[in-house]
Structure 1
């Protein structure tokens, strides 16, 4: 680590103009050492107020400046002090390029630029990197996905209601104030305070709380409910081959973007434009949700090793690439991931870890698996002749999401590990639980459920959760997945289902790393709603933005588990050295 410069030797410049190629001026705050020598640049571009600089999760920019950097924090186009119109992601590649090259030319800056930030401030790093600015040297994107459709705005056809609506309401407040409409800003604040009422408002494309004048992109997103050119033009997964820089990827097991974060790591590692990029992708996965970053996540404490250490890691990362200090970031494994349950760190050469073996655990029941009071079981023995389980789903009484992978504010959206018993007592939740474990079961990798199911509707949703059952009965969600039945084959070409037909669904629950401890049990929950994480499927084949209560239909769902239809969860289990002998 470099010697820390005293705070009174840090110069702060506010509201510094940065010209863009189209004549728009963006504004930045600059923090730099008061010294004759030049220093490399750290750049954050944020729509969330440059004066804040995402300090909920990161150290203040002056702290980085004290370690020998010129730190520039910029309001993105149309946000806070910057000129222009806010159109999410639309001009971030060009604006990022122009800002990077402007920063590299500052008289007190070394022409080496690194970027950091999470969420939107991570997306702009990737978009800038795809435009290949000559002086961008490395990036450190945290908590961001790979695709603007899948995993962000939609997931397997279901609209990401809570994260999208809460985000739009939040960012629209600044837009209202920029227009001089303090009354609209006050309305938005009231809507955030009563957001669970907003979530139930239909139709979604005419949500009264979200004014078209403030957020026209919200309706656009609902008008494009399938993945196509509207989404792919700004998606990263098609553009890994344009990336030329090393990247430090930071994700969280309870973050809504965790699967996309890992996909970015693997994608650039395989397809990056240069050997330096391909050979210098690093992944760190914490047990966190979107924010804030802490050992305390939802209802669980993951211990001291889960404390926020990102600032120190970033100093090492930027020291390696911006200061060319070979002693920094030396001997680091490509993948570092936190194993929940054991609450410790592991390293690997890849994700998923090579040592994990997919092991099926089958859904079983003797009579009926409805609710935690039923007789649903989860076993390694496949079923033979068993009756299916049946439940009824009506969108007017959806199963509430308790915790999980949403974003971005825990007070507004369902996030993190929470006890699932309050929903597992419902008969419209099928509950399959293993026997009490006599030995630990280590799961490290991507979890998938194969579900054989039929519905009486032309479209519906199936939701699956992996749950860790503690000895006292508390049941904490580990991972979750959803599929909109009409999107079972394709994100681009949805098709209704045939009522009564048994369909094989593959439902990704995403990546995780957890040790199910002795005296715990492994559980799988199956239902048809996860509200408000996702919109309520009306059980009709129609665009989500157009649904009203008048469209709601009842669906009777049947989940099969017999020799011909062996519904199961595939757990990537890591066997101990003793077990493999």
Structure 2
């Protein structure tokens, strides 16, 4: 009964909403609690001198977008502007209203706009062919207002961040600063990523997130913002995958379009995501978390941004998607404790950044990369990433061990991947599922380790702490008895009590082993080299702990199951068991690479 009630509530609320939470010091932080706010109550708490007026802002094609302007009285007649564009309802979405409160109290005009096809705006929603042009037209409209200085900053998380990055690629002269958070989903084909809304990892659909978002939030016009409740556990089993959302939502969404277009440049080149053609010059404070599904994409975006604006920087918190401060208030992310005393004043950081770039105020020097080191419980500042002091360390897959020495002999181990009995997901980089019981982040993976459909490699017990800081990757040599299948690779931290807590994980659909723009099926029983990205991390393994690697063929429901037939994986319904052989040894070593900091 309780689960049914929670599911119904989740269907009525925003999938990744944020509410205002006050710490013991009274400073506001953001936490995603799937909560919408009552606008009348919110407006009643604003200073009396703050005016609120709704406008219908015309786009070049005649579509009008519902736009609220919050204008503090007093101070300068013309004010710098903070713009927030969102698909979640400008007068109910907790995060957007938080930015209104923060910046209007500091003499900024704040503009909050429903994106095309969402809530009060006209037109038809799609991610994201219209967002660049709509953003530019909105900036032009702002500049024409008598209350606006010609300087605009943007802020927000997830879709609210992705639209900022797309706008920044247009290089509008009034766009002087941006703070995109959890915005890796803005990347398309740039740097070979093929992320598209953050719904693809290693060429595989992030099923739980993708289905959850489009089923719950995928309406294309303002009258279709609600979705019926459902049992997510059963719904995620739907085959073929391409019809999953349509089965549970009567109106059209873009779920099927994303699956059809990911391999078709004639389709995905029209979507508006970031490509290698894009250039940036907007000063940027990128913000993300270690267990955001798009953290790797955020690093790639920042690399592009810094080529045009080298002063841009990155803040990485110990958290999950859009939960920038929650764990530092509650004391844990997933199963990993964090130190509440290491909490930072995020609002103060954001305000200082905007003041520097929109008001010309001095800002204290900050490191280019500022990241929280899990289990060491402190912040690491560095001018480059990985940090200059970090050294590459390689662990070879040798027998059932992770070894710093390669094997002189050839080792082979076999496992099977059965789509009818996939390896279950436990935590990790998962978000936006719509399921209130879904947990994300670094959780204990030991319940999986008795299964016979994954391989385990374990390192020696550490005699001193091992600090990891940088990107992680696994290089595996594999052969299979099918033309295509998936690899899921997971790095864990094994403690003396037997817990095996996730550090990071990654995946690859093997047809994309040569790049996402050059899919190629395999020949059966031929050995192929596959490189799997496991995102990035800053993490300490304590003395007495062990490093462990999992290799499997699935992680369901986080990732869509592969039917292993070699056909279109999203249109197939008949599963086939794949036999996968992992090879390691002379002439074809399999290994995991990471970056380590000098011993403390």
Report the TM-score, using the length of structure 2 for normalisation.
0.86
SS at match of 1:207: helix
Contact persistence 2:211–2:245 (CA under 8 A): no
Residue 306 (structure 2) aligned to one of 260, 264, 269: 269
Kindly state the Cα deviation for residue 235 of structure 1 after the two structures are TM-superposed. 2.6
Q: Establish whether residue 393 from structure 1 lines up as the match of residue 433 from structure 2.
A: no
* Mapped pair 1:351 → 2:376: no
Q: What's the secondary structure of 1:132's corresponding residue?
A: coil
Aligned length: 542
Mapped pair 1:24 → 2:63? yes
Q: Secondary structure at the match of 1:347?
A: strand
The aligned counterpart of 1:40 is 80
**Paired residues of 2:471 and 2:535 also in contact (CA < 8 A):** yes
Pair 1:230 & 2:274 matched:
no
Question: Whole-Å Cα distance in 2 between the matches of residues 311 and 297 of structure 1?
Answer: 20
2:216 maps to 1:170? yes
1:449 match: secondary structure: strand
* 136-145 or 300-309, which deviates more: 300-309
For the Cα contact (< 8 Å) 1:10–1:66, is it kept in 2? no
Contact 2:117 2:221 (8 Å CA) reproduced: no
Q: Deviations along 1:317-349, whole A, 9 cap, x unmatched? A: 0010011102x2x31111111111101101111
| Secondary structure of the corresponding residue to residue 238 of structure 1 | coil
Matched, 1:569 2:592: yes
SS in structure 1 at match of 2:570:
helix
Partner Cα distance (2:122, 2:292) in 1: 32
Residues 229 and 212 of structure 1: CA distance in aligned 2, closer, same or farther (over 3 Å): farther
Q: Which runs of 5+ in 2 are unaligned?
A: 1-44
What is the CA distance between 1:91 and its match in structure 2?
0.8
Please state if 1:402 is matched with 2:431: no
**Change in 2 beyond 3 A, CA 1:282/1:52:** farther
Structure 1 contact 226–493 (Cα < 8 Å) conserved: no
Structure 1: tracts of 5 or more residues without a match? 1-5, 273-277, 366-375
Whole-angstrom CA distance in 2 between matches of 1:472 and 1:10: 58
Q: CA deviation at 1:176?
A: 7.4
From 520, 523, 537, give the equivalent of 1:495: 520
Q: Determine the structure 2 residue equivalent to 1:287.
A: 318
Q: Give the 3 Å change call, closer, same or farther, for CA 54–123 of structure 1 in structure 2.
A: farther
Mapped pair 1:297 → 2:326: no
Q: 1:265–1:402: structure 2 CA closer, same or farther, 3 Å change rule?
A: same
Q: 2:530 aligns with which of 481, 505, 515?
A: 505
Contact 2:262 2:268 (8 Å CA) reproduced: no
What is the CA deviation profile of residues 165-220 of structure 1, one whole-angstrom value per residue up to 9, with x for unaligned ones?
11101213x557705xx9xx4xx3313xx112121101112226557863342111
- Verify: 1:516 aligned to 2:541, yes or no: yes
Distance 1:213 1:493, change over 3 A: farther
| 2:375 pairs with one of 331, 341, 353 | 341
Query: Residue 556 of structure 1 aligns to a residue in which SS?
Result: strand
Which segment drifts farther, 128-137 or 292-301? 292-301
Secondary structure of residue in 1 paired with 2:593: strand
Instruction: Tell me how far 1:359 sits from its aligned partner.
Output: 1.2
**Is contact 1:283–1:336 with CA below 8 Å preserved after alignment?**
yes
Matched, 1:199 2:236: yes
Query: Aligned to 1:468, which of 475, 493, 496?
Result: 493
Does the CA contact (< 8 Å) of 1:469 and 1:523 recur in 2?
Answer: yes
Q: How far 1:527 moved relative to its partner?
A: 0.5
Could you say which residue in structure 1 is the equivalent of 2:395?
361
Structure 1 distance, partners of 2:177, 2:313, is: 12
Change (3 A) 1:397 1:114: same
Structure 1 Cα separation of the partners of residues 348 and 209 of structure 2 = 29
TM-score, normalised relative to structure 1: 0.88
2:468 is the alignment partner of 1:443: yes
Q: Distance in 2 between matches of 1:420 and 1:331?
A: 40
| Separation in 1, partners of 2:473, 2:266 | 28
2:153 is aligned with 1:153: no
The change in CA–CA distance for 1:425 and 1:166 in structure 2 (over 3 A counts) is same
Q: 1:221 to 1:413 in 2, by over 3 A?
A: farther
Equivalent positions of 1:97-112 (< 5 A) are 97-112=136-151
